[in-house]
């Protein structure tokens, strides 16, 4: 089985132990005796579980387990649930980018007329003061300081920029991706921010799929569709 799929034998053992394969009968000398059904189940398990996930992983694990238990109808239902989760995240990510592009084109995103302390800014944005400090330390913005007290002072421009940062973070984009985009924006290059947000530079170390979030979501949608086709084929084969 391991040779057939080009994986380590321990992967097969792990999938069996976790219930991703239906019970495997043993020969008299204790060797596992895999059947064509196990081959199909292994194909589904590798397809569904073989990549990185930041969303919906439990649903994917559950659908593989359902298929191994013989409940292909529930497995198909869960596959569509996962597709829904991915598409919701795609919509969220797209909305965040549109919000970014509106800001980049000069749309004012905050109308406060007073300078706010870090606590007041955090309350206005619905985030913690520690988050604002972290975004500042990460280089996402440079907040002016009171010349006397040295405290941060947030005006409409800073709050507007923070709204963009917050929305992108809530939509799944990594700090590195946002920093990459903001550096481009601050350099006066306001075109192609969507592409920059999703394209790590040659000098960057790709640490997480969120560094290229839009591409990852597109890959997950393609995978969800492939999972649906695989389970549908399993149902058709069971009915023959």
Average pLDDT for residues 9-15, to the nearest whole number? Answer: 95
Domain range holding 1?
1-50
Q: Is residue 229 part of a domain?
A: no
In the prediction, which pLDDT does 205 show? Answer: 64
What is the structure's pLDDT at 57? 92
pLDDT tens-digit profile of 35-93? 999 999 999 999 999 877 788 999 999 999 999 999 999 999 999 999 999 999 999 99
Give percent of the chain above pLDDT 70. 98
Question: Are 234 and 44 contacting, i.e. CB atoms less than 8 angstroms apart?
Answer: yes
DSSP string, 129-195: HHHHHHHHHTTS----B-TTT--B-B-HHHHHHHHHHHHHHHTT--HHHHHHHHHHHHTT--TTHHH
Assigned domain for 219 exists: no
Tell me if 80 is assigned to some domain: no
Residue 153 Cα to chain centre, angstroms: 33
pLDDT at 199: 87
H-helix segments, the chain: 2-5, 9-17, 36-49, 57-68, 72-104, 118-125, 129-137, 156-170, 175-186, 193-197, 213-239
Give the pLDDT of residue 158: 96
CB neighbourhood size of 217 (10 A): 24
Residue 185 lies in a domain: no
pLDDT at residue 201, as a whole number: 77
Measuring CA to CA, which residue among 80, 47, 50, 74 is closest to residue 62? 74
Q: What per-residue confidence (pLDDT) applies to 207?
A: 64
Q: What is the CATH number for 22?
A: 1.10.1660.10
Does residue 60 lie in a domain region? Answer: no
201-214: pLDDT as tens digits: 777 666 677 888 99
Residue 25 gets which letter from DSSP?
P
Question: Which residues contact residue 27 at a Cβ distance below 8 angstroms, ignoring those fewer than 6 apart?
Answer: 33
Number of domains in the chain: 1
pLDDT tens digits, one per residue of 48-62: 998 777 889 999 999
Q: Residue 44 domain-assigned?
A: yes
Q: How much is the pLDDT for 211?
A: 87
| Spatial distance between the Cα atoms of 29 and 35, rounded to a whole number of angstroms | 17
Domain assignment of residue 3, yes or no: yes
Among 153-162, 201-210, 222-231, which is the least confidently predicted range?
201-210
Residue 73 lies in a domain: no
Average pLDDT in the 1-8 region? Answer: 94
Q: Per residue in 185-198, pLDDT tens?
A: 999 999 899 999 99
Residue 206 has what pLDDT?
60
Residue 26 φ/ψ region, left for φ over 0, alpha for ψ in the -120 to 50 degree band, beta for the rest: beta
Of all residues in the chain, what percent carry a pLDDT higher than 90?
88
């Amino acid at each position: 089985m391991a040779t057939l799929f080009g994986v380590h034998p321990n992967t097969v053992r792990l999938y069996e132990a976790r219930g991703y394969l239906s019970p495997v009968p043993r020969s008299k000398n204790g060797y596992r005796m895999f059947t064509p059904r196990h081959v199909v189940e292994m194909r589904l398990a590798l397809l569904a579980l073989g990549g990185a996930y930041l969303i919906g992983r439990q649903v994917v694990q559950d659908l593989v387990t359902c298929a191994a238990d013989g409940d292909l109808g529930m497995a198909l239902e869960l596959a569509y649930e996962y597709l829904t989760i991915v598409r919701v995240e795609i919509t969220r990510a797209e909305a965040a980018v549109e919000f970014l592009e509106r800001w980049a084109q000069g749309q004012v995103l905050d109308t406060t007329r007073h300078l706010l302390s870090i606590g007041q800014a955090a309350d206005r944005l619905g985030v913690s003061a520690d988050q604002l400090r972290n975004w500042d330390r990460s280089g996402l913005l440079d907040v002016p300081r009171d010349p006397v007290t040295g405290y941060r002072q947030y005006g409409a421009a800073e709050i507007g920029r923070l709204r963009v940062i917050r929305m992108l973070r809530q939509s799944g984009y990594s700090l590195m991706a946002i920093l990459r985009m903001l550096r481009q924006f601050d350099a006066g290059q306001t075109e192609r921010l969507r592409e920059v947000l999703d394209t790590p530079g040659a000098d960057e170390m790709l640490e997480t799929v969120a560094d290229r979030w839009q591409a990852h979501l597109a890959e997950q949608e393609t995978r969800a569709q492939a999972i649906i086709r695989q389970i549908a084929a399993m149902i058709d084969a069971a009915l023959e």
